[in-house]
């Protein structure tokens, strides 16, 4: 533990309240969570290359008054994906279209993995996503907060019948360890992974960004 440093929770009711954070003279940076990963961009001075492409920020560095946004979710997800992906798992379905989903799409594109995004408003939605489409896409990434503690019994509407033992299911939620989505996918024989390793890896990247400032 570093003496003289702390990592605290700043609970905002509205994104505008971030201006109060920027007035804290000793603040070196902070992480950004749902639902502000996209909204925070309007309050920053600059973005890293990956944050510009993704259009979402989950890590902010404050250096000499300049506020720069980064996306370490992408780094954390890539570490998770490459650890578990098999060669035959070469196309993906992204569930959700928020800030986290944008980071996932960026990494899939980077690794030449074609994907489709499913949300309430996309052409392929939760209502019309069919079993065959799921069967044909061997990577499924659940990027919504549905099923997060304390609403652990909630689950996205999804055709689990299309999931096989050849599937890799990644749910970005890490609390609880096993969401209803993971439990139902696992029952079909799929390899399932929660978001804890991604959380650890994006945090390591954020620490690297903030630590660089102090040197």
pLDDT, one tens digit per residue, over 23-73 is 888 899 999 998 899 999 999 999 999 999 999 999 999 999 999 999 999
Pair 159, 129: CB distance under 8 Å: yes
Asked if 57 and 127 sit in the same domain, the reply is: no
- The pLDDT value given to residue 213: 55
Angle at 139 (CA atoms; ends 146, 167), nearest 5 degrees: 100
Tokens matching residue 195: 């978001």
Sheet holding 59-63, edge to edge: 29-31, 59-63, 66-70, 46-47
Asked if 48 and 128 sit in the same domain, the reply is: no
Domain count, the chain: 2
Known active-site residue 37: yes
- Residue with tokens 């990247």, as numbered in its chain: 205
Query: Which residue in 175, 215, 211, 181 sits closest to 195, CA to CA?
Result: 175
Query: For the whole model, what pTM was predicted?
Result: 0.91
Higher pLDDT, 129 or 7: 129
Catalytic position from the list 37, 67, 102, 138: 37
Q: Residue 1: inside a domain, yes or no? A: no
- The pLDDT value given to residue 94: 98
Q: Which residues pair with 59 in a beta bridge?
A: 31, 70
Asked if 55 and 107 sit in the same domain, the reply is: no
Asked if 121 and 60 sit in the same domain, the reply is: no
Higher pLDDT, 91 or 34: 91
Asked if 192 and 210 sit in the same domain, the reply is: no
| CATH number, residue 157 | 3.40.50.720
Residue 1 has pLDDT above 60, yes or no: no
Asked if 142 and 97 sit in the same domain, the reply is: yes
Asked if 176 and 126 sit in the same domain, the reply is: yes
- The pLDDT value given to residue 211: 85
Asked if 20 and 90 sit in the same domain, the reply is: no
Residue 215 has pLDDT above 50, yes or no: no
Q: Which domain holds residue 63?
A: 15-71+199-214
Asked if 40 and 92 sit in the same domain, the reply is: no
- The pLDDT value given to residue 34: 86
Q: Residue 19: inside a domain, yes or no? A: yes
Asked if 138 and 89 sit in the same domain, the reply is: yes
CA 59, CA 34: separation in Å to the nearest integer?
Answer: 12
- Average pLDDT over the chain, rounded to whole? 94
Residue range 158-195, pLDDT digits in tens: 999 999 999 999 999 999 999 999 999 999 999 999 99
């Amino acid at each position: 533990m570093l003496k003289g440093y702390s990592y605290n929770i700043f609970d905002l009711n509205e994104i505008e309240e971030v201006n109060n954070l920027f007035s804290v003279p000793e603040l070196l940076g902070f992480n950004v969570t749902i639902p502000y990963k996209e909204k925070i961009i309007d309050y920053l001075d600059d973005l890293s290359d990956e944050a510009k492409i993704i259009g979402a920020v989950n890590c902010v560095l404050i250096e000499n008054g300049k506020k720069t946004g980064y996306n370490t979710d992408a780094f954390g997800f890539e570490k998770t994906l490459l650890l578990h992906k098999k060669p035959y798992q070469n196309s993906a379905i992204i569930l959700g279209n928020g800030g986290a989903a944008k980071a996932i799409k960026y990494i899939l594109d980077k690794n030449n993995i074609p994907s489709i995004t499913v949300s309430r408003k996309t052409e392929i939605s939760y209502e019309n996503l069919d079993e065959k489409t799921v069967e044909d896409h061997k990577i499924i990434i659940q990027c919504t907060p549905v099923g997060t503690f304390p609403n652990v019994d909630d689950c996205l509407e999804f055709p689990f019948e299309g999931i096989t033992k050849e599937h890799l299911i990644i749910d970005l939620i890490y609390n609880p360890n096993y969401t209803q989505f993971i439990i139902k996918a696992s029952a079909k024989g799929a390899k399932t992974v929660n978001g804890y390793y991604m959380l650890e890896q994006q945090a390591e990247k954020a620490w690297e960004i903030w630590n660089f400032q102090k040197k």
